[in-house]
Structures are given as structure tokens and as C-alpha cells.
Structure 1
Amino acid sequence: MKKYILFISFLWFSMFVFGQQNQFIVAENYFRNNEYEKAIQLYKSLYDKSPYNTTYLERLVKCYQETNQFHIVENLINSRLKQQPDLGYLNVILGQNYERQQNQELANVEYEKAINSINKQPSFGGIIANFFRSYSKLNLAIKAYELTMQKNNGANYGFQLAQIYGEQGEFDKMFASYVDMVDKNENYLSTVKRFTSRYITDDSENENNVSFKRALLRKSNSNPKDIWNNLLAWLFIKQKEYNKALIQHKALLARDADNLSGIKELGKIAFENEDYQVAKECFDMVIERTNYPRDKFFALNRKLLIAVKEESADTEEQFLNALKDYGVNSNTVPIQVSYANYVLFKEKNPRKAIEILEEAKKFANSPYLKVLVKLKLGEALVFAEKFNKALIYFAQVQTKHKNSRLGQEARYRGAQTSYFKGDFKWAKAQLKVLKGSTSQLTANDAAYLFLVISDNEPKDSISTGLKEYAKADLLAYQQKNDEAITVIEDVIANYKGQSIEDDMLFKQATLYERKKMYDEALLVYAKVLAVDEKGILVDDVYYKVAELYNNKLNNTEKAKEYYQKIIFDHPNSIYLVDARKKYRKLRGDNI
């Protein structure tokens, strides 16, 4: 019987709540459609049933005000205040009601009563401040939040204060509030990083960057904590000052010898941004101090990759020493794959690379490592022009990891291989699927190769130069740049004026870039535009030229000119976001 009564009570309560929700939805519809008289009846009913629901009250008041029934609002609020004079948020509503009637003097009296009520009832301080904020009385909202925190040490309205200061353009105060939030509760760290990142840039001289750094240093001096080193390191990473970030992480490590995660993450970021000096120092610390094999071999592998990128004379010796010291086993599979990649693309020795990878395959004991080895084996076999065997490996990965990033990469590699061997129909079918890939890089590569094939497929057994272009692409893949350029020059001479000409010129320009022949690359990019100034490669050319001027030739004016061409002439370009950001940075904007 007792259970039956409880069930009935629960059922009745559920129906009551469901009924209120439906009533509120209908009222909201009336409100949004400016049907205030209809909405009033529903909101009044809801408010009578739930007099502490401030949403119902706020909506009801708004409806009365929109229909010029200010006296009803005044009577409603005063009646409630007589019953419960401690509900200070009612004074805010009453004050705003006076203000809407152009009676600022009476409004100010009510606003002052609301602020003073916080001294007696700090628990309502947040609600009072929120009402002030909703009425755009930002200075009064600040006053209410600050008084509430003063009266209640457990209250933390730093986030709300920071948002208000941001709206007012008071960025020094905004950053100080964010820092105070973290000082009171370090669980707010990720929230503060997320919101602060909206205001700071990668320019260390930017006014907001300086302001945030100043707030951190001020707090660090008055109340030293590890969290300030963490935030300073994060700021320096944003500013791409990785050496300064490393100093902060070293300070953290000195106080906690096990705290290597920050060092490892900094190493990864520095590596990706080509600050190899800082990256090496980070990875050396991880290798020396970590107790986790996975972290040790990750760091060791990245150090070896830096040697490859810096073209160190003893790169191969470093690989061999690492494999000698740590063995050829499951721990060193990523290093074995990196070594095979070095042998393949730097030494151009596919046979040796395949041998290394066949050995690595024996120790690949996780799904990821098995995929890694198979993908690299496929690449080595393509390099050796053993296309059918390569396709088997790519197909195996694609089948087992159909919807993953690696599966999509395998499908692209398979399509590219088919293209190299002249099977354009199959390649095109695979690339069509990949154009919608979740991996943007794979999708872009697939879309470009799809268009190359579509635009230049042989028709009626008449050569269009696509087979020769595929041969040049294969030579470029094999790092045989000079041979690829020779083939391209022949194709350009033989197929001048045909649709493949701009594609061949574009490929030739990228090969000149690879050979660091930047002036020659610029000349060929200009030829692409001359061949078809409205073609699909125009925005690619603009971006490539802008990047050359920006990163290699130190000509910022020319770089700005070409970034600007993308911004104004190609608003649908995949390069638009990057072009706009880089253009504004070169122009000196506070982004």
C-alpha cells in the first residue's frame, strides 16, 4: 500500500511538472510572436504556482511593460516585497520598471535598496547581480557581484565579472578577474584558458597579451603557486615563445620531479612548429627522466625525426645506435618505421626500407602499429613500383579500419597508386568517395587529384598527357625531382594549350620550391595564371606565392598582396581563413 501511494504521488508530480513545461512552451511562443496579452495569462498562472521562479516573473513583468501596464508591475512587486522584504532582486525589477517610465530618481532608490539588501542576505547577491546584468546595468552588476563575494568567501563570480569587463572593453580588469577565479579554484583553469584565448594572439607585444601577462605576474608575486607557471607557459606557447615556455615548465618540474607531461606536450608543439632546439631539449628530459617506456620511445623517435628534418650528417648512425641500444622489438617499432621512411625517401633505397619494415611487422603487437607498418610498406612498394602488392596492403588497412582516419588515408594511397599505374577509372571512383573525408587534408588531396583525372582523362584513345603527368607525379613521389621536371617540360611542350597545361605548370612550380629554387617557382606560378586566370588553381597559386614571399623571401608587402587576392577574389577558397589571419598579422592588426 505504501509503495502504491508513493507511485501515485510520483505520477501526479510528474504530470504536474510536464503540464508546467508545456504551458511554459506555449507562453514562450506567444512571447516570441509579441502576443503579450495571451502570454500574460499563462505566465501569471505559472508564477502563481512557482513564485520563486525568476524566469516566470521576469517574463510576466516584460509582458506587462510591453503593454504599458507599469502600474500592475508596481503593485505586483510591492505586494511581494511587503511579504518578503529580503528578496532584493524584486527591488531591481521595480527600479527598472520606474526607469522605463522615465523616473530615474525612484529607480536609483530601488537599485540602492537592492545593493544594500546583499549585506543582510548575501545568498541573493548573485540573482540581484544577474538581474542588473540582464537590464544592462553593468556597473551595478559589478558592485553586486563584488559585495556578494566580500560577504560570502565561498562565492566566486570572477567569470561573470570578467565577462562584464570584456563587454566594457576593460581588459586589464577582465584578465585580473580571470586570474582571481583560478586563484580561488584551480578547477577553473581550462575555462579561463578557453575564454582568455579569445583575446590574446601570437604577438607577444599585443596589448591584451601584455595585460594578461601582467595580471599573472602580479598574482604570482603576491601569492606564488604552480598554477601561475602553468598559465605563463600556456601564454608563451600561444606566442610561439617556446624557450620561455620551457623555463616555466622547468620551474614546475623542479618542484615535482614526476611532472613531465607538460614537457612532453611542449616538445610536441615545438616540433610541429619547427623549433627543433626547444623540442630536442624537451625530448632529452623525457628520455632521461620518464618511467614510462611509451613516453621514452615517443621522445626518442621524435629526436630522430628532428635529425632527419635538419639533415644531420650522422642521421643514419643515430637510428642505428638507437636500435642497438634499445633493440629491435615491440617498443621500437615506431623508430623502425621512421628509419625505413628515412631510408626510403632520403637514401631512395626501397629494397632496404622493405626489409626493415618486414622485420618491424613481426613486432607490431597493437592494431595501430600494425596499420602503421602496413601503410609504410605500401608506400615503399609504390616507390619500388610494385603497385599490385602495395594495393593489397592498402586494401587490408582500409577494410579493417573503414571509417577511421587511417582507413581513409589507406583508401587515398590506394587511389593514388591506381593513378600512378594508369588505372584512372578506379582511382577516380575511390577519390570521389574521399572528397567527403572527415580528414580535411585527405579530402583536399583527394578533391585535387579527382579534378586532375576528370579534366584530363583520355578521350576516344586520344592522349591528353594524363599518363605522362602520372609518370611525373610518380617521379616526384620518388624524390627524383630533376627527372620529374624533365617529363613535365616535355608534356608542356607536347600538350600546350590543352587543359593539362596549368596542372603541369603547377606541379613544376612545387618541384622548384622543393629544390629551393624560389625565383624559378615564382616565374612558373605566374605562367599558371597566364594560362588560365580563372581556373581552379588560381587560389592555390595565390596562396603558394604568398607563402613564398612571407616565409622564404621576406617580402611582406608582396605576401600581403597575394593573401589579399584570396580574401577579396576567392571568398570560398579553402585558404581563406589562413590567408585572412596571416594578412591581418602582417598588417599589424590586433587580431
Structure 2
Amino acid sequence: MRIVIIAIILLFSTSGVAQSDILAKNYFEQGEYGKAINIYKKLYKQNKGRIDYLLRMVESHQQLEEFDKAEALLKERINTRRGSPQLLVELGYNATLQNKDSIANIHYKQAIDYLEQNANYAYNIGAAFSKYSLLDQAAETYEKAMIVNPERDFNPQLATIYGEQGKLQLMFEKYIDIIQNRPMYKNVAQRNFSLYVTEDSENEANKILRKTLLKKSQENPDILYNELLSWLFVQQKEFKKAFTQEKAIYKRDFEEDLGGIADVARAAIDEKDYEVAEEIFNFIIEKSLTLPEKIRGNQYLMEVLLAKATPKDYNDIEEKFVSLFEDFGYGKETYMLQIEYNHFLAFNAGKKEQAISNLKKLSKERLSSFQEARVKMELSDILVFDEKFNQALIYYSQIQKKVQNDKLAQEARFKVARTSYYKGDFEWAQVQLDVLRKSASQLIANDAMQLSLMIRDNTLEDSTQTALKKFARADLLALQNKNSEAIAVLDDILTNHKGEKIEDEALLQQAKLFEKNEQFTQAEINYNKIIELYRDDILADDAHYRLALLYEGPLQNPQKAKELYEQIIFTFKDSIYFVDARKRFRSLRGDAIE
């Protein structure tokens, strides 16, 4: 019984401390520093081990410009057995706030000198200096600690500080040294490199990293330098150069792993550098040692050839596909290649019925559940494209049952919603979208939210849903690559439903189709209308961003592009385009380092 009573007392005591902590923090954040001090004083008295309570009291006194009281608190703690040398940094900063720099420097030196007694305090002292952006002192702390005790490793902290100081050469060298001793640190280092490296090969950080790696590679050849150079060239979108580095790695790795080379090729595809991607995949096909590798290489190669093809190339592409199936067969080993082929037949070559027949036959092969789901997903997409909505919905439902816990099931559910939307069954589409908004992956959830909002917004004011049905029809026509017909339907909406909620959606969708048709001036007019008429609406940032890209690209007006990016930065801080807009703005402004 006694133990139970003690436990209850401790529970209530802990709960009371937590509530007091929250209350004190709230007072502090609200600027009621006197009240915060009173609570922190009681908390600190109850638990002298909590240095954070002491520091909150000190900071509260500093906010009230009661520097003498802050100093007294710090000195009192420093002179006890629990005195920590990091508090010397706090004492120095307290002097700095009073413009007593000479006194501050004395305390800073005392903190650093303490390392001669015990280098284990380096992290706490260095972190205290970094907290106040005292980077020179923080660097000196870590450097001295490693001299006093060579077994301690503060190189990651030093590398970060060198970067913040603008000592890029030292930063890169330090990170490279770290990776050589701790290969698993490479991803962390590359993330930090990304804070300084840009797409511009003439950017100062890019040039320094490139020269550093080339110099080290000449002095002592190592695969690490090729890997980092390849990474740098990919950032700069110089995929040919990255390919050269990856080939060097491949040769030194006894020609066993083509993964790095394939990664460069896929990055090239993402950036639409199809010529280099084609060259790389041909290399992969030539060097592949296993049948699955050769099939996968050919699949990616066909994806590249399709991406850059025009209708006059379609016969040659179809012959190439047929030739590959003569070599590798139509079994489950080539199921992904067959999906690519039938996508081409339906969406490019105008042979929907043949594609549907092929995929139905393939779905009856002895495939895994996931493979069957992928085949049926492509089949369903083609059926939607062919406006056979009910058949498509059956297959999408089968996919959801076949791979219930896979992201593919969520994708199928979204496509059920989108197909219902094309049919004009907005109520059922909304039911599916509401489920996806709560449980889907972030990308699918975002798509679901956008479609859901669009349906809801345009159903409230129009019970007949006339304009929304027209808009859904335009969306379907766009999916079918009937861009001119889709533009005409959107014209009908803009003429006959002017001023309705759907107008801004129609303007944006039509502008995107104008861009596809290379009618850039018409797209510009639409984006400007959205900015003028709907500057406070949800699509305003889309219009700003897409118009900026248009000015930066086809319309060749970088000054206007820069102005629009700047507007996104200052007006749409929560926009998904904010980060890229800031990056592009700085690039157009000519900043050397991000």
C-alpha cells in the first residue's frame, strides 16, 4: 500500500511539474517574462539538474534587460559542482548584449580553454557558440577538442560550420574526409552539399567542389571521387559527364553493377535529355549479363524512343517492339515491356482494341498478384481512354481487392473516382475521394483533394452541374489528346458560364492545353486573367508560377519571370511552388550561391 501511495504522489508531482513547465513556456512566448521567471524559479529549485530552466530564467531577465540578475544566476551555477563550461558562453553572450565585447571574449576564451581539462565538453560548448552564431569560436572549440583528444571526432560539426562561414573549400574537404572514413555518411554529406550546389556549373560552390574532387582524384584515384563527381554532374544536369564517371566506376567495380549508370539514365529521362538516356540504355543493354537486365534495359530504351517520337516514327517503334518480343517472348518475364507496348498501341498508334485484347490475354498468364494488378491498371486506363467506363471500373475494383495493402490499390481507388467524374457521377466520385484524402499516400491524397474541392465547389452553386459536366468532358478530351476539341469545350464554359465558380478552373485548364499546342500567347492571356480576376483565389499561385515558367522559357522575358517568382515568394509563402520559385528567382537574379 505504501508503494502505491508513493507512486500516486510521484505521478501527481510529475503531472504538476509538466503543467507548470507548459504554463511558464506559454508566458515566455507571450512576452510575460516576469510571470515566466517566477514559475521557472520554482521549477529550478525543485530540480537543480534541469539547466534548461536556468537558461529560460536567464533569457527572461535578458528580455527585461535585467542583465545583472542574469549574470548572477549564471555565476552562481558556474561556481557549484554542477557548473558546466557551456555556461561561460552564456555569460559571455550576456556581456555581448551589453556591448561589453572585451569581457565577453574573456568568458569565451575561458570556455574554450576548459577543453584542456576535459575535451568531452566540446559538443555542449560548441553548440552554445553555434546557438548565438559565434561560428569562429564554435570551430575553434571543435578543432581544439580533437587536438586535446584525437579519439574524439567533431569533423561533421566542423564541416557544417565551415559551410555556414562560407569556407566552402574547407567544408567540401572535411566532408570528403568524413565519407572516406565513414562511407555511410555519403548521403548526409550530399544533402549538405545541396545547400550550396546549384544547377549552374559556374556557381562558385559547384566549381570549388569539382576542382577539389578532380585534384583528389589525380593525387589518389578512388571510386568515391567518381561517385561524387557523378552526383555533381547530375545536379548540373550534365548527364553525359555523369555517365563518364559512372562508366569509370563500373570498370573499377569489375563490371558487375550497372545500377549507378541506370540511375543517371533515369535522371536524364526526368529532365527530357533523351539523347543521353538513349546512349546510356544502349550501353546497359550491351553490358547486361542476365536476361532480366537486358529486358529491363530494352524497356527503358523503348520508353525513351517513345518520349521523343513523332507520328512518323510510330511504324518503326512498333516494329522494334515486335522484334523484342521475337527475342524475349510474350511470357511473364516481359510483362512490363508488354504494358509499355500496349500503352503505345492505345495512346499513340490508335490501336485501342488490339491493346485491350493483348492485355486481357496477358492478365490470364501465371503472374504474381502485383504483376496482374499492374497489367489490369493499364487495361483499365485504356478502357477509360476508349470511354468504356463501366468495364474500367470493374477492373479498378479488382485491383483494389488483389493488392489491398499496396499503394497501387489507392491509385486504383483514385482512378475509380476520376472515372466516375468523367461519367458525370460526381456523388460516387466524391465518396471515393473523401476516403483517399484520409488514408492515401501524400501524392494521391493531394490529387484527391484537388479533384474533391473542384467537384464540391462547382456543385454547391449549380444543382444541375451543367458547367461541371462540360469541364469533365474537356478533361476527358485532353486525356484522349484531343486538345483542340477540349479547348473548344472550355471556350463554351468561359462564354456561357462567365462569372461562375468554375471560370478560373476553365481558364487554367485551357491555358495548359494552349501550352501543349504551343499557343503560348493565348496561354499568357489566360494566366494573366486569373491573376487579374482571381488574385486571392486558390489557383492564383498556379497562374503566377506557370506564367513565370512561360516567360522564362518560350516567351523569353526573364525580367517578367523574375517579377512573378518574387510575387510568389512574398505573397504565396505556403504555396507548393515557393521553394522552386525562390530557387529560380535567385538564379535569374544571378546569385552565386543558394
Q: TM-score, normalised by structure 1?
A: 0.79
Deviation (angstroms), 1:364: 6.2
Shift of 1:189: 1.8
> Any idea what the Cα deviations from partners look like across 1:221-251, whole Å, max 9, x if unmatched?
4433211111121122122222221121111
Q: C-alpha separation between the residues in 2 aligned to 1:485 and 1:219?
A: 57
Q: Distance in 2 between matches of 1:525 and 1:95?
A: 54
Contact 2:433 2:448 in 1 (8 A): yes
* Matched-pair contact (CA < 8 Å) for 2:129–2:137: no
Higher relative contact order (CA 8 A, sep 6+): 2
- 2:356 is aligned, of 348, 354, 357, to 354
Given that residues 230 and 246 in structure 2 are in contact (C-alpha distance below 8 angstroms), is that contact kept between their aligned partners in structure 1?
yes
Written as runs of structure 1 = structure 2, the 5 A alignment for 1:44-443 is: 66=70, 68=72, 76=80, 114=114, 124-128=118-122, 130-131=124-125, 134-135=128-129, 139=136, 142-143=139-140, 145-146=142-143, 149=146, 154-256=151-253, 257-311=255-309, 313=313, 314-363=316-365, 365-402=367-404, 404-436=406-438, 438-443=440-445
Conserved 8 A contact 2:86-2:128 = no
Give how far 1:354 is off.
0.3
CA-to-aligned-CA distance 1:272-301 (integer Å, 9 cap, x gap): 121222222332232222345444333221
User: SS at 2:569's partner residue?
Assistant: helix
Describe the superposition over 1:390-420 as per-residue Cα deviations: whole angstroms up to 9, x where unpaired: 1101122234445643222212221222222
- CA distance 1:560–1:439, shift in 2 (3 Å): farther
Q: Deviations over 1:418-451 (max 9, x none)?
A: 2222222222332343345644543444344334
TM-fit CA distance, 1:113:
5.7
**Secondary structure at 1:475's aligned position in 2?**
helix
CA contact (8 A) 1:337 1:360 kept: no
| Cα deviation digits, residues 69-90 of structure 1 (max 9, x gap) | 777667656xx9xxxxxxxx98
In structure 2, distance between residues paired with 1:492 and 1:516: 21
The letter of the residue matching 1:287 is I
Partner of 1:86: none
Indicate how the Cα distance of structure 1 residues 22 and 281 shifts in structure 2: closer, same or farther if over 3 A, else same.
farther
The structural deviation recorded for 1:186 is 2.6
Report if aligned partners of 1:539, 1:573 keep a CA contact under 8 Å in 2. yes
Q: CA deviation at 1:341?
A: 0.9
Distance 1:427 1:290, change over 3 A: same
Alpha carbon RMSD of aligned pairs, Å?
Answer: 4.2
Q: CA deviation at 1:271?
A: 1.3
Quick check: 1:199–1:208 contact (8 Å CA) kept in 2? yes
Tell me, yes or no, if the aligned pair for 1:156 and 1:184 is still in contact at 8 Å. no
Partner of 2:63: none
State the partner residue of 1:10. Answer: none
Match of 2:214, SS state, is helix
Partner of 2:65: none
Q: Matched residues in 1 for 2:580 and 2:126: separation?
A: 40
Residue-by-residue CA offset, 1:445-476 (whole Å, 9 max, x unaligned):
43443344334449898573333333333222
CA shift, 1:540, in A, is: 2.8
Q: Is the 8 A contact 1:130 1:141 kept in 2?
A: no
Cα distance, 1:550–1:316 mapped onto 2, change above 3 Å? farther
Q: Which moved more, 1:317-326 or 1:386-395?
A: 317-326
CA distance in 2, matches of 1:208, 1:290: 36
In structure 2, do the counterparts of structure 1 residues 71 and 544 end up closer, same or farther at CA, with 3 Å as the change threshold? closer
Post-superposition CA distance 1:296-349 (Å, at most 9, x none): 333221110111110161222222222221111112111111111111111222
Q: Which residue is 1:484 aligned to?
A: 486
Distance apart, 1:216 and its partner CA = 2.7
Which residue matches 1:50?
none
Q: Are the equivalent residues in 1 in contact too, given 2:58–2:74 (CA < 8 A)?
A: no
- What is the Cα deviation at residue 490 of structure 1? 4.3
Question: Partner of 1:328: helix, strand, or coil?
Answer: coil
The one of 511, 515, 532 aligned to 1:509:
511
Alpha-carbon distance between aligned partners in 2 of 1:385 and 1:111, rounded to the nearest angstrom: 75
Residues 511 and 149 of structure 1, relative CA distance in 2, 3 Å threshold: same
Q: 2:31: which partner in 1?
A: none
CA distance in 2, matches of 1:458, 1:61: 55
Gaps of 5+ in 2: 1-6, 26-35, 60-67, 96-101
Aligned pairs for 1:431-470 (under 5 A) are 431-436=433-438, 438-457=440-459, 464-470=466-472
Q: Structure 1 residue 206: deviation in Å?
A: 2.0
Q: Distance in 2 between matches of 1:244 and 1:366?
A: 39
**Aligned counterpart, 2:548:** 546
Q: Is the 8 A contact 2:397 2:412 kept in 1?
A: yes
Shift of 1:365: 1.7
Does the C-alpha gap of structure 1 residues 140 and 578 become closer, same or farther in structure 2, counting only changes over 3 Å?
closer
Which secondary structure does the structure 2 equivalent of 1:552 belong to?
A: coil
Instruction: Tell me the SS of whatever aligns to 1:363.
Output: coil
**Superposition TM-score, scaled by structure 2 size:** 0.78
Q: Secondary structure at the match of 2:553?
A: helix
Q: Deviations over 1:85-144 (max 9, x none)?
A: xxxx98887898799897689868856864655xxxxxx434346435535675565455
Letter in 2 for 1:350: K
Do the aligned residues in 2 keep the contact of 1:43 with 1:59 (CA within 8 Å)? no
Deviation at 1:531, TM superposition (A): 6.5
State the distance in 2 between where 1:108 and 1:466 align: 68
CA drift at 1:492: 4.3
Partner of 1:227, secondary structure, is helix
Structure 2 counterparts to residues 492-531 of structure 1, below 5 A: 492-526=494-528
Partner AA of 2:419 in structure 1: T
Pick from 582, 585, 589 the counterpart of residue 583 of structure 1.
Answer: 585
- Deviation at residue 154 of structure 1 after TM alignment: 4.8
Paired with 1:147 and 1:558, the residues of 2 have a C-alpha distance of: 51
Identity across matched positions, percent: 37
Question: Is the CA contact (8 Å cut-off) linking 2:566 and 2:581 kept in structure 1?
Answer: yes
